[in-house]
Structure 1
Amino acid sequence: MKVTFIGGAGTVTGSKTLIESKGVRILIDCGLFQGIKPLREMNWDPLPILPSTIDFVLLTHGHLDHCGWLPRLVHQGFKGKIYCTSPTKDITKLILLDSAKIQEEEAEKANKGKYSKHEIAEALYTVDQAEKVFPLFKVAKLNEPIPLDAEIEATFTTAGHILGACTIAVTLENKTLVFSGDVGRDDDVLMFAPTKPKKADYVFLESTYGNRLHPYSDTKLELEKYINNAIDEGGTVIIPSFAVERAQTIMFLLWQLKQENRIPNVPYIIDTPMGISALEIFRDNPTWHKLSPVECDKVSKMFLLVSDYKETNEIILDNRPKVVIAASGMITGGRVLSYLTHYIVIPETTIIMVGYQAEGTRGRKLLDGAEEIKIYGQYYPVKANIVEIGGLSAHGDQKDLLNWLSELENKPTKVFLVHGENQPADELRIKIQEKYGYVCKIPLIGQEFEL
């Protein structure tokens, strides 16, 4: 048996792990690389094996860095089955269509503005190519082993993080390989605590926040303070947000603050078509989260839900104070870019960062104090107030990740630390070895291991 780390190693994006056993090839996740240019350029590279030779894809969840390369995989010949939970299937469809549309639009803008280094800018994939993925989906039920081959089965258990997210245990050659996916928090606002694995011969554990503890500050109080300060100065608040789970979490917290009369009567806007569609998925899957159907409806009614781009432009040009939630969470694309081209140069604007910002993304650059930011080929001076609320991350922190390992009944042969930059992964490695005595390995992209 062999495992190859095609992506999601030494970085938090591009998750792809290949298992090969007795002629069967299984790909765990099929994510898009994001962030610094050398990583983004890897999205154009072919896989080290032909996609047509892969038998199965198992998706841990529907975030772009875990599912966003599927259209390329299918376009290049993959014809196998894609297993995931029902909410993940619905979310992945939204994510892929949105990603394809954004890529088509950005290629068109680059060609019109002539700011691409290529003679003709092309989209990584099109909406039509994204839609060709959908017939390959197969729904996995929680805690029910799925027979993939005569001696291979996969079992999905909840991971928290976002709606539908799972840890996947693959049993083959009398060994159990556990792929954590993205591990949620034990005390998340909306999602239930992740299910801890009981048995694993090999563990593939994410390490996004492997060197950090989430602040135990009052998240609602921070939101209240930043919003009131900005509105008092006549400014607008922009919250770049992942459209799935994070946007709904922020909406819920703002609704609570409004109910408690702690934030002012100004327009509250969610401008992400995908985030609005995700609200419907929340309503359709009440057993996956803590919100009741009644709360879902009440939260939605507080917000102006914007899908039409003409309405986006009207809102942007209306300089009255307001609070806007817009995707994407790391400011790599989406509607939030249109808001920033107008508002980032205004000192009264407050931009609240609420999630992990990968290396090389605009979000990371803003948090690192960038004095200017490039959007659509133009540079804009950063005059807005940039703040961060660390308590809103959907990823478990170092304590949560260590706790996730706490119910293993056997000592795994090895723990591979993936989906993390080098320093967080290394600090988590040290902590795991100190607490549990497990052998840990931090793989590099392209590395192969025989198990």
Structure 2
Amino acid sequence: VNEGFNGKIFCTRPTKEISRLILYDSAKIQEEEAKKANEEHFSKHDPAEPLYTESEVDSVIPKFRVVDKDLDVKLDDDISFKFFYASHILGACSIELTIDGKVLVFSGDIGQDDDVLMFPPQKPKKADYVFLESTYGNRLHPQTDALFELETIINNTFNKGGTVVIPSFAVERVQTMMYLIWQLKKEERLPDIPYIIDTPMGISVLDVFKDNSPWHKLSFEDCDEMCKVFTLISDYKDSMNAVYDKKPKVVIAASGMITGGRVLSYLERLIDKPETTVVLVGYQAEGTRGRKLLEGAQEIKIYGNYYPVVANILLIESLSAHGDQKDLLNWLSELETKPQKVFLVHGENQAADELRLKVQEQYGFDTQVPFLGQVIEI
């Protein structure tokens, strides 16, 4: 927009609401960090500047145009598009784009067929060209019971007098963990201890969930009942009180990869205690604290200080918001005619190439893994 874009930004209603939250939150953090960098002179940039500001977000939001899924939108005589449900996170959709009579389908991120909160992804019926993600193109999610795993972890930690810390993505994963704990509490399978949600962004996204119940499996009433199980913390002072409270509890806090957020304050106090359990519930990118913990790091740096890792570090693998190889192959199963080509994107080389072989074997589709920067002529 700063460089002159003056068009429309089409999205679903939940996507607009979540984008608004994320953009303003990100801009505020960037402005605060740039100000601090300039005051303390620790940035290599002079002056340090945010990527974008809150006032710049003000100019972006009015350009959003909400479009419901399964609705054909005509952009001009030769171009139209349609969103269809992708199941990845709240509001996520694949796109069917028709240009000059040719149908191009872009999967975006595809969720699991049996996701805890999201409905199964809709499958495309027709496509001349398919652009399909391949994040987990070479793996299958373990067939484990996330409820049983979580029940065991929380009860074992409680019996040791410890706290369970669950670093979590504010969008979708916080809500998934809340749902699982709610189910366990309803069945009286968990101890009577505090269950804390300490992420202002995650709490704001909860409101988006409540307002968009047709997009997920929970009713408005379900969301309200679920929230009654938890202490929702937005205020910083309340957060610090929870951090210093020594009683056993379960804390869900951002960020999911432990790159920042309030979860750092909990880990600063608890990572060196043997009775603490840290439960990773999402993808941990290379170079993040979460990845280092997953790989068995002996110490971790938080706020400039190193702390020994004595806590139990566990991973619940079955909660990914990305479909596995089976889900991705299944997503292609309802195409009524053979596409001219399938392009596999958004995946590491090995994952994409293994999925390519599987697509060709199962469907006989001409399948390619394009390289970065490659120009594809349709």
In which range does the TM-score fall when normalised by the shorter chain? Answer: over 0.9
Matched, 1:264 2:212: no
Residue 138 of structure 1: aligned partner: 65
Map 1:244-255 onto structure 2 (within 5 A).
244-255=171-182
The one of 331, 336, 352 equivalent to 1:409 is: 336
Question: How many Å apart are 1:119 and its aligned residue?
Answer: 5.2
Q: Secondary structure at the match of 1:123?
A: coil
Structure 1 range deviating more: 352-361 or 439-448: 439-448
Match of 1:353 among 262, 276, 280: 280
User: Which of 227, 236, 240 is matched with 2:163 structurally?
Assistant: 236
Q: Which residue of 320, 331, 335 maps to 2:247?
A: 320
1:243-271 CA distance string (max 9 Å, x none): 12211111011011112221111111111
Match of 2:325 among 395, 398, 413: 398
* Compared CA separation, residues 448 and 142, structure 1 to 2 (3 A): same
Which position in structure 1 is the counterpart of 2:79? 152
Q: How does 1:303-382 map to 2 (within 5 A)?
A: 303-382=230-309
Instruction: Please tell me whether residue 101 in structure 1 is matched to residue 35 in structure 2.
Output: no
Larger displacement relative to structure 2 (236-245 or 362-371): 362-371
Q: Residue type of the partner of 1:151?
A: D
> Structure 2: which amino acid aligns with 1:133?
V
Aligned residues: 378
Question: Partners in 2 of 1:268 and 1:236 — Cα distance?
Answer: 10
- Select 2:128's aligned residue among 183, 186, 201: 201
For residue 173 of structure 1, what is the amino acid of its counterpart? D
1:274 paired to 2:201: yes
What are the residue-to-residue correspondences of 1:33-112 with 2, within 5 Å? 74-108=1-35
The farther-off stretch of 256-265 and 413-422 is 413-422
Q: Which moved more, 1:333-342 or 1:128-137?
A: 333-342
Pair 361,213 (structure 1): closer, same or farther in 2 beyond 3 Å: same
Cα drift, residue 230 of structure 1: 1.6
Match of 1:286 in 2: 213
Runs of 4 or more above 6 Å deviation: none
What is the alpha-carbon distance in structure 2 between the residues aligned to residue 185 and residue 201 of structure 1? 24
Distance 1:380 1:442, change over 3 A: farther
Q: What's 1:52 paired with?
A: none
Q: Secondary structure at the match of 2:165?
A: strand
1:299 to 220, 223, 226: 226
Distance 1:177 1:200 in 2: 6
Change (3 A) 1:120 1:382: farther
User: How far 1:364 sits from its partner (Å)?
Assistant: 2.1
Cα drift, residue 192 of structure 1: 0.6
Note closer, same or farther for the CA distance 1:366–1:110 as it changes in structure 2 (3 Å cut).
farther
Which residue of the partner structure matches residue 141 of structure 2? 214
3-state SS of 1:449 partner: coil
Q: Report the TM-score when normalising by structure 1.
A: 0.79
Conserved 8 A contact 1:210-1:401: yes
Q: CA deviation at 1:120?
A: 4.8
TM-score by length of 2: 0.94
Match of 2:354 among 409, 423, 427: 427
Structure 2 unmatched ranges of 5 or more: none
CA apart distance, 1:113? 6.4
Displacement of 1:126 in angstroms is 2.5
* Matched residue SS, 1:203: strand
RMSD over aligned Cα, in angstroms?
A: 1.9
- Give the Cα–Cα distance (whole angstroms) in 2 for the partners of residues 378 and 119 of structure 1: 27
1:185 maps to 112
Residue identity opposite 1:269 in structure 2: I
- The residue aligned with 1:12 is none
Once the two structures are superposed, residues 264-298 of structure 1 have per-residue CA deviations (whole angstroms, 9 ceiling, x without a partner) of 11111111112111111111112111112221111
1: CA distance, partners of 2:39 / 2:274: 30
Greater Cα shift, 181-190 or 324-333? 324-333
8 Å contact kept, 1:276–1:305: yes
The answer to whether the Cα contact below 8 Å between 1:115 and 1:377 also exists between their aligned partners in 2 is no
| Contact 1:241-1:328 within 8 A present in 2 as well | yes
Identity level (%): 66
Shift of 1:159: 0.8
Offset, 1:185: 1.1
- Residue 325 of structure 1 and its aligned partner are, at CA, apart by 0.8
Would the aligned equivalents of 1:373 and 1:380 in 2 still touch at CA under 8 Å?
A: yes
Contact 1:102 1:333 in 2 (8 A): no
From the CA coordinates, give the structure whose radius of gyration is larger.
2
Structure 2 vs 1, CA of residues 400 and 102 (structure 1 numbering), >3 Å: closer, same or farther? Answer: same
Amino acid at match of 1:345: D
Q: Distance in 2 between matches of 1:422 and 1:381?
A: 35
Where does residue 224 of structure 1 map in the other structure? 151
Q: Answer yes or no: is the 8 Å Cα contact 1:102–1:334 preserved in 2.
A: no
